[in-house]
């Protein structure tokens, strides 16, 4: 069966606005022609797509099913057209993208770098500047127009930049061989403070996150070692320097090799997000808009 794309385009507008006359107006066409085209589409597909009444039209169950597919295809085509239009203005542009130090190397390598690679193939003349810093400083950099976007762990949603959640995670507590006596035990936060804690340095979102959790239980949060990156947290824990919180995905390989083990914690650690943020109130950078759309699309596939 080979149905004209124009038929589906008209079907999309009629289905979206539940009106032949509105579809005709938006498509600068005549209502009789729109009606005739939809009759032809129903004939070609061998089923009824609309229920007509004086109040307009509604989709039949068959029409609803078809509309979901046509809507997705139409939106993809619109997105493609927008990207092509924007690509005319991205030559020799510069994109500044920040990464929170709480974002692990695994996420960068598995999720972000493939997108940056594809982007570079499509737009080789666009220059990309990568910045690593704490989430609060990256938020300030976006608000002040110093960078276009950032990929960060959860931040204060009261801030101005717009947030798109890419992934969610809940940290686990891990330790090295020297703490084997804690295996199988249910450890409380009150007990945990008796041991050396490894964590990101103060001023990072991760540090503030755990400081608030401990404070909510009336406990001080005083890490014995404060590291510059999440990767260093794992390294210090693996080398028996202390106990640390880390995402399960990042700890997976070390857990499998028994370099570290998970400690069962009595309290539940809240879920955090990995989000892409930008300041929607600032003038758009077409090159950055395309990269942002590619990162978001990749995260949901």
- Whether the per-residue pLDDT at 159 is higher than 80: the answer is no
pLDDT value of residue 42: 92
- Whether the per-residue pLDDT at 161 is higher than 90: the answer is no
Check residues 208 and 282 and name the one with the higher pLDDT. 208
Rounded distance, CA 114 to CA 112, Å?
Answer: 6
Q: What is the pLDDT of residues 93-103, one digit of tens each?
A: 789 999 988 77
pLDDT band at 65 (very low <50, low <70, confident <90, very high): very high
By mean pLDDT, which of 109-113, 114-118, 129-133, 228-232 is the weakest?
Answer: 109-113
Given a contact cutoff of 8 angstroms between Cβ atoms, the answer to whether 40 and 7 are in contact is yes
Given a contact cutoff of 8 angstroms between Cβ atoms, the answer to whether 153 and 100 are in contact is yes
Query: 94-169+274-299 belongs to which CATH class?
Result: alpha beta
Which residues partner with 128 through β-bridges? 95
**Mean pLDDT (whole number) for 161-165:** 80
Residue 125 carries which DSSP code?
T
Half-sphere exposure of 282 (CA within 13 A, CB side): 19
pLDDT value of residue 237: 97
pLDDT value of residue 290: 87
**Mean pLDDT (whole number) for 46-75:** 89
Q: Which pair of tokens denotes residue 197? A: 């804690």
Q: What is the pLDDT of residues 119-158, one digit of tens each?
A: 988 888 888 999 988 888 998 999 888 999 999 987 555 5
Q: What is the pTM of this model?
A: 0.67
> What is the b/e burial string over 172-195, where b = at least 16 CB atoms within 10 angstroms of the residue's CB?
bbbbbeebeebeeeebebeebeee
Q: 5-87 and 172-270 share one CATH topology? A: no
Query: 172-270 belongs to which CATH class?
Result: alpha beta
5-87 is classed in which CATH architecture?
A: Orthogonal Bundle (1.10)
> 48: Cβ–Cβ under 8 A, 6 or more apart, which residues?
42, 60, 62, 63
Q: What is the pLDDT of residues 215-248, one digit of tens each?
A: 999 999 999 999 998 889 999 999 999 999 999 9
Domain ranges of the chain: 5-87, 94-169+274-299, 172-270
pLDDT band at 90 (very low <50, low <70, confident <90, very high): low
Q: What is the pLDDT of residues 168-224, one digit of tens each?
A: 899 999 999 999 999 999 999 999 999 999 999 998 889 999 999 999 999 999 999
**Mean pLDDT (whole number) for 254-271:** 96
Check residues 10 and 107 and name the one with the higher pLDDT. 10
pLDDT value of residue 122: 85
By mean pLDDT, which of 38-52, 239-253, 284-298 is the weakest?
Answer: 284-298
pLDDT value of residue 129: 92
Rounded distance, CA 112 to CA 233, Å?
Answer: 21
């Amino acid at each position: 069966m080979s149905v004209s794309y124009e038929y589906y385009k008209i079907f999309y507008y009629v289905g979206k606005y539940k009106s032949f006359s509105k579809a005709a107006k938006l498509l600068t066409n005549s209502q009789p022609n729109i009606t005739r085209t939809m009759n032809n589409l129903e004939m070609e597909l061998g089923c009824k797509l609309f229920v007509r009444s004086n109040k307009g039209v509604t989709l039949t169950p068959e029409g609803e099913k078809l509309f979901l597919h046509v809507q997705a295809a139409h939106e993809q085509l619109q997105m493609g057209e927008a990207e092509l239009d924007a690509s005319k203005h991205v030559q020799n542009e510069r994109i500044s993208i920040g990464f929170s130090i709480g974002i692990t190397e695994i996420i960068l390598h598995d999720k972000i770098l493939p997108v940056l690679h594809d982007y570079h193939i499509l737009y080789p003349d666009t220059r990309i500047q990568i910045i690593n810093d704490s989430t609060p400083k990256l938020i300030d950099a976006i608000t002040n127009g110093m960078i276009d976007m950032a990929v960060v762990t959860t931040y204060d949603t009261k801030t101005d930049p717009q947030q798109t959640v890419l992934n969610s995670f809940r940290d686990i507590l891990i330790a090295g061989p020297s703490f084997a006596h804690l295996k199988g035990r249910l450890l409380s936060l009150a007990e945990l403070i008796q041991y050396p804690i490894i964590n990101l340095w103060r001023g990072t979102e991760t540090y503030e996150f755990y400081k608030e959790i401990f404070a909510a239980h009336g406990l001080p949060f005083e890490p014995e070692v404060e590291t510059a990156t999440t990767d260093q947290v794992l390294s210090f824990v693996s080398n028996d320097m202390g106990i640390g919180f880390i995402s399960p995905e990042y700890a997976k390989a070390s857990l499998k090799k028994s370099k570290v083990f998970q400690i069962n914690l009595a309290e539940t650690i809240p879920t955090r997000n990995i989000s892409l943020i930008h300041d929607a109130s600032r003038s758009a950078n077409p090159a950055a808009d395309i990269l942002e759309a590619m990162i978001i699309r990749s995260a949901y596939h």
